[in-house]
């Protein structure tokens, strides 16, 4: 099955705006893909939902609890230092490597500029959905 890692911005967009990020979450809920997440990403999602989008503590906890149901948690063991201009983005690469992901989905331009890392494709949500719909990952 296709192993996918989604960056924080994918979850935040899915929960607030829908569109392609929500379609990716729905694929995970339907168990059509295996979506991985890390504890630091959950913490980052929580902070953004509370500070930027003014979600209540109860709303955030409900969403995080639901996310834990459809996404598998992974804790990176390897430190990666590829991106110098936005060092925190390296954490996302670390958990993609740990998850043995086939694809990292992100809206982050620094990560997208890499295009791939260690065989992990790096795509925007629309790029991923187009490739998924076209059957690019059907051999996995």
The structural domains of the chain, with segments of one domain joined by +, span 3-133
Between the alpha carbon of residue 41 and those of residues 48, 85, 89, 130, the distances in Å are 11, 20, 11, 25
Q: Which fold has domain 3-133?
A: Rossmann fold (3.40.50)
Report the pLDDT averaged over residues 110-117. Answer: 95
Work out whether strand 120-123 and strand 116-117 pair parallel, antiparallel, or are unpaired: antiparallel
Q: What is the per-residue pLDDT across 44-90, written as a single tens digit (0 to 9) for each? A: 999 999 999 999 999 999 999 999 999 999 999 999 999 988 888 99
Residue 116's pLDDT is 97
- pLDDT of 136 > 90? The answer is yes
pTM of the model: 0.95
Residue 88's pLDDT is 86
In degrees, rounded to 5, the angle at the alpha carbon of residue 123 between the alpha carbons of residues 64 and 118 is: 100
């Amino acid at each position: 099955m296709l192993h996918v890692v989604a960056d924080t911005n994918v979850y935040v967009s899915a929960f607030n705006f829908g569109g392609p990020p929500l379609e990716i979450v729905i694929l995970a809920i339907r168990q059509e893909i295996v979506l991985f997440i890390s504890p630091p990403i959950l913490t980052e999602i929580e902070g953004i939902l509370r500070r930027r989008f003014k979600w209540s503590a109860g709303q955030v906890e409900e969403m995080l609890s639901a996310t834990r149901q459809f996404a598998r948690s992974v804790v990176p063991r390897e430190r990666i230092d590829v991106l110098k201009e936005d060092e925190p983005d390296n954490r996302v690469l670390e958990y993609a490597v740990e998850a043995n992901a086939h694809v990292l989905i992100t809206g982050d331009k620094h990560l997208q500029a890499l295009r791939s890392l260690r065989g992990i494709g790096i795509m925007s949500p629309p790029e991923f959905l187009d490739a998924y719909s076209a059957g690019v990952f059907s051999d996995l």
